[in-house]
Amino acid sequence: MSSFYPSWEPEAPTVKTEIPGPKAKEAIADLDKVFDTRSLNMLTDYQKSSGNYIADPDGNVLLDVYAQIASIPVGYNNPSLIKAAQSDDMINAIINRPALGNFPPKDWADVLRTGILKVAPKGLDQVFTAMAGSDANETAYKAAFMWRRQKERGGPGVEFTEEEMESAMNNQAPGASQQLSIMSFRTAFHGRLFGSLSTTRSKPIHKLDIPAFDWPQATFPTLKYPLEEHAEENRKAEQDALAEVEHLILNYHIPPCAVIVEPIQSEGGDNHASAEFFRGLRALTKKHGVLMIVDEVQTGVGATGKFWAHEHWDLPTPPDMVTFSKKAQTAGYYFGNPELRPNKPYRQFNTWMGDPARALLFRAIIQEIEKLDLVSHTARVGDYLYGKIEALAKKYPGEFQNLRGKGMGTFIAFDSPRRDEFLKKAKSLGVNIGGSGQSAVRLRPMLIFEEKHADTLVDVMEKIVTSWK
């Protein structure tokens, strides 16, 4: 029973067959004829999924702490979201999809203010809406290039030259800014389209064969755990990383006009850095007139125990742009500086520019988060879960390495010496968990994850490692 809605979800997982079971196997073989299924994790019965539990066609019902790669915020078949989906406004938004830049709905300002902008990070009061994380980041990059070139040109009123216009049409400088770049960090993940993939540095399989821009990457500090035992080393790793950032800003042959960073490198292995590191990065970007883009695609919307993970940093000035997607169920980037609006219309534009239906859903999600107080709930449950895993790590040395995410809500991870086996075994014991990077087990519960779910999860984790003894 869920504490939020009685009889919403089962009391415990049910595992009836191996996963995939016979029904799923048959359906997968059929699906594979028309759709690539090699990345398929679990064929899902979304009708039978509820709350924290994901179901499959064979009657298996698993506690889901992967949550569609961290993108289900308030549970499967959430009653409040059902109501929102049945509303006239939603039906209207589904069937009359606007070209938002040209023909916005008459109440678009209201939808933004009571939804997407209600949770805007401090200091950022405007939004450009997009479709998913990749284009959210790429449109932020475009804004950064336009902003910097405008400064170099001498302001918004300075017209483009004939040479710029002609060379842009030929993909050449000076019109196409081949002399500027976006800096990212090693092991970062920012998306898979051509610009975003150029800043993604997670794994070769994501990048192989795809042309990329010659943009710089700085080293993300590799912290040693437990943090309290390696304070000095970690501080040095962070200082070295910041020194490299500054060196690249000053010396890279295609200097960056922006740096993009995740609060926690989420695909690259759940790599954390201290608030001090991020304050240092903000100081460096300010000092050198480089924009700071915070990619909150995976960390945003409550899972770290703050609505935005970068609230943990206590920055003296806000980031220049913050991108979002996943749990927001829509995407885009926030900004505050009016200079980040391009100097002319149609420079940043596309037909749909997001999806009002998804913006309405995000509004309903925000209302649900507020009604159930899910951000502080997640902070509390996260502390509880962290404590239990910490105890487990002490009990089974070596099996739960580099436990991280203390004080970061349920955004917790550890390294497993046999990670892929760990994930597979978890499924057979009733829990759906994801991995990241080379060896991390990443926990991405929904915001309705409770202490009792943490107990179930930790029990299963203990069963996994004892099954290996």
Q: Which of 134, 271, 299, 456 binds its own copies (CB under 8 A)?
A: 134
Q: Among residues 166 and 455, whose Cβ is nearest to its own copies?
A: 166
Point out which span in 135-143, 310-318, 376-384, 407-415 binds its own copies (CB under 8 A). 135-143
- Does the active-site annotation cover 189? yes
Give every strand in the sheet of 53-55, ordered side by side. 53-55, 61-64, 431-432
Per CB under 8 A, 106 contacts its own copies: yes
Residue numbers 331-370 binding its own copies by CB under 8 A: 341-342, 344-352, 355, 357, 361
Residue numbers 251-290 binding its own copies by CB under 8 A: none
Per CB under 8 A, 192 contacts its own copies: yes
Residue 108 token pair = 């678009």
Q: Which of 72, 440, 443, 448 binds its own copies (CB under 8 A)?
A: 72
Reported as half-sphere exposure (CB side, CA atoms, 13 A), residue 459 has a value of 12
Closest by CA to 257, choosing from 334, 186, 339, is 339
Residue 39 token pair = 């990345």
Per CB under 8 A, 246 contacts its own copies: no
Binding mask 315-334 for its own copies (x = CB under 8 A): ----------xx--x-----
Residue 414 parent element (H or E)? strand 413-415
Q: Among residues 88 and 228, whose Cβ is nearest to its own copies?
A: 88
Point out which span in 98-106, 314-322, 401-409, 439-447 binds its own copies (CB under 8 A). 98-106
Long-range contacts of range 341-347, CB-CB < 8 Å, 24 or more positions apart?
341/126, 342/143, 342/146, 343/146, 343/150, 343/156, 343/157, 347/142, 347/146
Q: Among residues 83 and 287, whose Cβ is nearest to its own copies?
A: 83
Strands 126-130 and 331-335: antiparallel
- Does the active-site annotation cover 307? no
Q: Which of 7, 154, 155, 208 binds its own copies (CB under 8 A)?
A: 208
Selected catalytic residue, list 295, 320, 355, 415: 295
Helix (H/G/I), strand (E/B), else coil: 21:
coil
Point out which span in 130-138, 226-234, 390-398, 415-423 binds its own copies (CB under 8 A). 130-138
Cα 414 to chain centroid, rounded = 18
Point out which span in 3-11, 208-216, 377-385, 389-397 binds its own copies (CB under 8 A). 208-216
Burial of 309 (0-12, 13-18, 19+ CB in 10 A): buried
- Does the active-site annotation cover 203? no
Give the span between the Cα atoms of 263 and 274, in whole angstroms: 9
Min dist CB 39 to its own copies, Å, is 4
Helix (H/G/I), strand (E/B), else coil: 445:
coil
Selected catalytic residue, list 145, 185, 189, 411: 189
Give the span between the Cα atoms of 376 and 358, in whole angstroms: 25
Q: Which of 19, 63, 65, 112 binds its own copies (CB under 8 A)?
A: 112
Residue 427 token pair = 């499924």
Q: Which of 4, 9, 19, 49 binds its own copies (CB under 8 A)?
A: 49
Residues 6+ apart with CB under 8 A from 285: 259, 291, 292, 320
Residue numbers 395-454 binding its own copies by CB under 8 A: none
Q: Which of 140, 146, 291, 465 binds its own copies (CB under 8 A)?
A: 146
- Does the active-site annotation cover 286? no
Residue tagged 């939804």 (tokens): 115
Helix (H/G/I), strand (E/B), else coil: 390:
helix
Give the span between the Cα atoms of 333 and 323, in whole angstroms: 4
Q: Which of 51, 195, 269, 318 binds its own copies (CB under 8 A)?
A: 195
**Catalytic positions:** 189, 295, 326, 351
